Amino acid sequence: MDAQDADHILIPLLDSDFTLAQIAQAPKDGDTRAVLYLTGRHMTLKSEVFAIPARDVKAMLAVDLALVPHNHWEIIGYEPIPSLPRALTLTDDTPLRDHSVIEAFANAIHGLYPWDGFPDAALFTNMLRTPSVLPTHACMTANFPKTESP
């Protein structure tokens, strides 16, 4: 993924729509790591793109963009990067999130995947910018329909 600072990208959701994210710190000097600001904004391919207010940033995540499949996260424009009081800055020991975990997290924000769906039930909560405030649409595993086994 050839991303630049301030690029808006679409992260695919299980309902065939997307959530909006922004590259807050693009890779530099051969590095492939980036800082991603993830929102809870539900988007379609026809949705209008506008600047992300700081209050809409649900998480600040570090990701290795070289591991994201080509054209999987579509760049759809760019806008100013929101100013956050405690912004994430990349260092050599910044933990990176796998792109598939970021996608599961985005789906959980929209209630499309269980909030407690990983072995570490607090994983998504700990990824939030404000862990004490769960997203409105977050649903626990118990709230999802049970599948019948044969």
Give 41-70 pLDDT, tens digit per residue. Answer: 999 988 888 999 999 999 999 999 999 998
Q: Give the pLDDT confidence score for residue 150 in this predicted structure.
A: 64
Query: Could you state, in order of their start, the residue ranges of all structural domains in the chain?
Result: 7-81+92-139
Contact by Cβ (8 Å): 80, 61: no
Q: Give the pLDDT confidence score for residue 106 in this predicted structure.
A: 97
Beta-sheet pairing, 7-12 with 74-78: antiparallel
1 vs 6, higher pLDDT: 6
Q: Give the pLDDT confidence score for residue 149 in this predicted structure.
A: 63
Contact by Cβ (8 Å): 60, 87: yes
pTM reported for the whole predicted model: 0.92
127 vs 147, higher pLDDT: 127
What value does the mean pLDDT take over residues 30-49? 93
Q: In what order do the strands lie in the sheet with 74-78?
A: 57-64, 33-43, 18-25, 7-12, 74-78
How high does pLDDT run on average in the chain? 92
Q: Give the pLDDT confidence score for residue 85 in this predicted structure.
A: 86
